[in-house]
């Protein structure tokens, strides 16, 4: 009887306590549960070796310093495959040639499920960008392929160049900027142009607001918002509000188009003309905007940085573009602006006659795309290097395992587009755009964007890379920054530029 009275008194005291006390108590209980799970879990004989630490101590390193954490895991276990817990989620990390081959080809390893749990920065709206039926996912993939067909992609070229001209003109005749701000902003604009509609991409205020909102999603992506999204943390509330605003901007643009009755040559019109469900249209724009802008923006920022540090490759790339202009009768005249002349080059020229730019893009994605490929095993269990990946487990493969492998890429941190090709018998020796059954579906558009912006900047400006003091510097990509590979502030390289004599 005294025990029941005591419990009743304790319960009453808890219910009458303030929210802060209740919340703190809940967090403590939650951490105790996590501790118990990590302490008493058992493993099968052929399971990967676990990390020598409790799961509570793996959460922050995985999200905040992933490159260092994964390298430490391989070193601490002495294995090419190891595992750890992210709360209730079993995560298995793999490396090596055979593991890479299985990872990119195994049928049961699902990209969508893996990315949803382990990334968390895509705006999640149930039925729009998350919890999608396979039919809707397939439809979004089909529409993205349609955007990149010859005719629509060719139509985008002058629009991307005009956006580039307009933004580059705001930079003035000379100055200094952080490429992860200015170049990334430029790529955000061109990606909006390519994947949304004129109502959004023609309005600088809306574009700026969208970029701010997507930045909030990135900054608000914390271990808590990914692993316990039901917990009302300030970061989660910020993400929810940002997602709602993005959703409202996109749906308002769709409503404006439908009410106007005006047909335009853009991606939104293509989606509407196909008669797609409204949820598919909204999900296509919301999800693909950030996915495209992040990856392409990172590549563009580093590409300009590397070229500013390597004047020989800058000169070769500029000469290649000048050769394209000189070889095309329509674009060889110097009376037109640079953007207008470049717009006269057809798509097939950009795709098949730019080996130098192709090599530069490939080398940039190798050394400065800090991807960790994520999958979830939907079943049945699969073995990688003799270790079982049970159904429901998450599997990650760090691109650094292959792209920074000195045996495949001697002096791997060096930017060298002219390096010798890797032996083609080595499976998946380059995975900058994915591999196996999961290739980046926006690769064609991304490469065209990168080439057009590079052409505008290389011919329209002269540039180098300096530190805060204005002295030449050569920054190194920071793979712990899982979004931009951006160096820490004290090691950031700034683009110092001045306009050339060629009018933009």
Alpha-carbon distance 119 to 452, whole Å? 30
Give the number of residues written for the chain.
504
CB 307 within 8 A of CB 231: no
Closest CA to 449 of 200, 157, 201: 157
Alpha-carbon distance 168 to 342, whole Å? 15
Alpha-carbon distance 196 to 251, whole Å? 11
| C-alpha distances out from residue 140 to 165, 196, 286, 287, 488, Å | 31, 13, 11, 10, 36
Please indicate if the annotation marks 197 as binding a ligand: no
Closest CA to 321 of 342, 344, 346, 300: 342
Query: Which residue carries 């717009």 as its tokens?
Result: 343
Rg of the chain over Cα atoms, rounded to whole angstroms, equals: 25
- Is residue 454 classed exposed, middle or buried when 0-12, 13-18 and 19+ CB atoms within 10 A define those classes? buried
Please calculate the CA angle 462-468-472 and round it to the nearest 5 degrees.
50
Alpha-carbon distance 273 to 275, whole Å? 5
Q: Which residues sit in the known binding site for heme? A: 440
Query: From the annotation, which residues make up the binding site?
Result: 440
């Amino acid at each position: 009887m005294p025990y029941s009275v005591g419990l009743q008194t304790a319960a009453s005291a808890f219910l009458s306590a303030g929210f802060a006390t209740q919340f703190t108590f809940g967090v403590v209980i939650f951490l105790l549960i996590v501790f118990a799970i990590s302490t008493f879990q058992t493993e099968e004989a052929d399971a990967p070796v676990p990390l020598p630490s409790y799961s509570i101590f793996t959460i922050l390193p995985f999200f905040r310093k992933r490159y260092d954490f994964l390298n430490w895991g391989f070193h601490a276990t002495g294995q090419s495959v190891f595992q750890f817990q992210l709360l209730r989620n079993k995560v298995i990390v793999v490396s090596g040639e055979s593991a890479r081959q299985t990872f990119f080809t195994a049928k049961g390893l699902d990209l969508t499920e893996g990315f949803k749990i382990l990334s968390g920065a895509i705006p999640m709206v149930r039925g729009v960008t998350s919890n999608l039926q396979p039919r809707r996912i397939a439809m979004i993939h089909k529409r993205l392929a349609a955007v990149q067909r010859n005719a629509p992609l060719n139509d985008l070229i002058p629009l991307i160049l005009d956006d580039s001209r307009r933004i580059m003109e705001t930079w003035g005749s000379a100055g200094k900027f952080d490429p992860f701000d200015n170049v990334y902003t430029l790529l955000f604009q061109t990606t909006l142009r390519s994947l949304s509609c004129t109502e959004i991409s023609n309005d600088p205020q809306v574009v700026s607001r969208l970029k701010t909102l997507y930045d909030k999603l990135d900054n608000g992506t914390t271990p808590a918002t990914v692993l316990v999204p039901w917990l009302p943390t300030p970061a989660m509330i910020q993400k929810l509000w940002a997602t709602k605003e993005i959703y409202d901007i996109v749906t308002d643009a769709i409503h404006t188009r439908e009410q106007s009755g005006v047909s335009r040559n853009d991606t939104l019109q293509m989606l509407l003309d196909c008669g797609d469900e409204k949820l598919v249209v909204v999900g296509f724009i919301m999800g693909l905007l950030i996915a495209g802008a992040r990856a392409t923006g990172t590549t563009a920022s580093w590409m300009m940085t590397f070229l500013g540090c390597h004047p020989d490759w800058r000169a070769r790339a500029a000469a290649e573009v000048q050769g394209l202009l000189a070889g095309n009768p329509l674009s060889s005249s110097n009376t037109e602006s640079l953007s207008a002349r470049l717009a006269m080059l057809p798509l097939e020229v950009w795709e098949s006659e730019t080996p130098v730019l192709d090599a530069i893009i490939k080398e940039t994605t190798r050394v400065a795309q800090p991807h960790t490929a994520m999958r979830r095993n939907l079943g049945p269990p699969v073995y990688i290097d003799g270790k079982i990946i049970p159904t429901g487990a998450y599997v990650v493969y760090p691109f650094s395992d292959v792209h920074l492998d000195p045996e495949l890429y001697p002096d791997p941190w060096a930017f060298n587009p002219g390096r010798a090709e890797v032996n083609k018998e080595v499976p998946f020796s380059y995975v900058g755009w994915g591999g196996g059954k999961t290739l980046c579906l926006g690769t064609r558009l991304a490469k065209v964007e990168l080439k057009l912006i590079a052409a505008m900047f290389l011919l329209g400006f002269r540039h180098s890379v300096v530190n805060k003091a204005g002295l030449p510097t050569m920054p190194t990509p920071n793979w712990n920054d899982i979004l931009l590979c951006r160096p820490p502030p004290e090691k950031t390289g700034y683009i110092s530029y001045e306009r050339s004599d060629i009018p933009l």
